[in-house]
A and B are shown apart, each in its own frame.
Chain A
Amino acid sequence: MWDWEYAISIMPALGKAALVTIQATGIGFLLALVLGLILALLRMSGPRMGWAVSALIEFIRSTPLLIQIFFLYFVFPSFGIVLDAFTAGVIALGLHYGCYCAEVYRAGLEAVPRGQWEASIALNLGTYATFKDVILPQAIPPIVPALGNYLVALFKETPLLSAIAVLELMQTAKMMGSETFRYTEPMTLVGIIFLLMSLVSAAGIRWLERRLNRRSAR
Chain B
Amino acid sequence: MNTANDATEQPMVRFDGVTKSYGALTVLDDLRLDIGRGEKVAIIGPSGSGKTTVLRMLMTLERINDGVIWVDGEPMTHMEKGGRLVPADPRHLRRVRAKVGMVFQHFNLFPHMTALGNCIEAPITVLGLSRREAEERAAELLDLVGLADKKEHYPAQLSGGQQQRVAIARALAMRPKVMLFDEVTSALDPELCGEVLQVIRKLGSEHDLTMLMVTHQMGFAKEFADRVCFFYQGKICEQGNPQDMFAAPQNERTRQFLRAVMDSV
Contacts and interface: CB of A to CB of B under 8 A. Distances in A.
Interface residues of B, number: 26
Contacts of A133: 110, 121, 125
A122 B108 CA distance: 11
A126 interface: yes
Given A137-B112, A218-B154, A122 B121 contact: no
Interface string A124-139: 1110010001100110
Contacts of B110: 116, 119, 133-134, 138
Contacts of A125: 121-122, 125-126
Contacts of B60: 121
A125 B174 CA distance: 11
Contact of A119 (B100, B104, B125, B126): B104
Given A116-B110, A122-B59, A137-B112, A129 B126 contact: yes
Interface of B: 59-61, 94, 97-98, 100-102, 104, 106, 108-112, 121-122, 125-126, 154, 156-157, 170-171, 174
A137 B118 CA distance: 14
Contacts of A126: 94, 125-126
Contacts of A138: 110-112
A188 interface: no
Contacts of A119: 104, 108-110
A113 B155 CA distance: 15
Which of B59, B122, B157 has the most CB atoms of chain A within a 10 A radius of its CB?
B122
B104 A118 contact: yes
A118 B126 contact: no
B168 to A, nearest CB: 12
A140 to B, nearest CB: 10
Nearest to A122: B102
Contacts of B100: 122
A123 B156 CA distance: 21
B237 to A, nearest CB: 28
Contacts of A129: 121, 125-126
A115 interface: yes
8 contacts: A115-B104, A115-B106, A118-B59, A119-B109, A122-B59, A123-B101, A123-B174, A133-B121
Contacts of B101: 122-123
A216 B29 CA distance: 44
Contact of A122 (B61, B125, B156, B157): B61
B236 to A, nearest CB: 24
Contacts of B121: 123, 125, 129, 133-134
A11 B101 CA distance: 66
B39 to A, nearest CB: 21
Contact of B122 (A115, A123, A215, A218): A123
A146 to B, nearest CB: 19
- List the 6 closest A-B pairs by CB distance, nearest first: A115-B108, A123-B122, A119-B108, A122-B102, A129-B125, A218-B154
Which of A121, A122, A218 has the most CB atoms of chain B within a 10 A radius of its CB?
A122
Contacts of B126: 123-126, 129
Nearest to A116: B108
Contact of A124 (B61, B98, B109, B112): B98
B47 to A, nearest CB: 19
Given A121-B61, A122-B171, A123-B170, 16 more contacts: A115-B108, A116-B108, A118-B61, A119-B104, A119-B108, A121-B60, A123-B171, A124-B126, A126-B126, A133-B110, A133-B121, A134-B110, A134-B121, A138-B110, A216-B111, A218-B154
A129 B156 CA distance: 23
Contacts of B102: 122
Nearest to B154: A218
Contact of B94 (A113, A124, A134): A124
A124 B111 contact: no
B253 to A, nearest CB: 30
Contacts of A121: 59-61, 97
A217 B156 CA distance: 8
A54 B64 CA distance: 30
Interface string A184-218: 00000000000000000000000000000001111
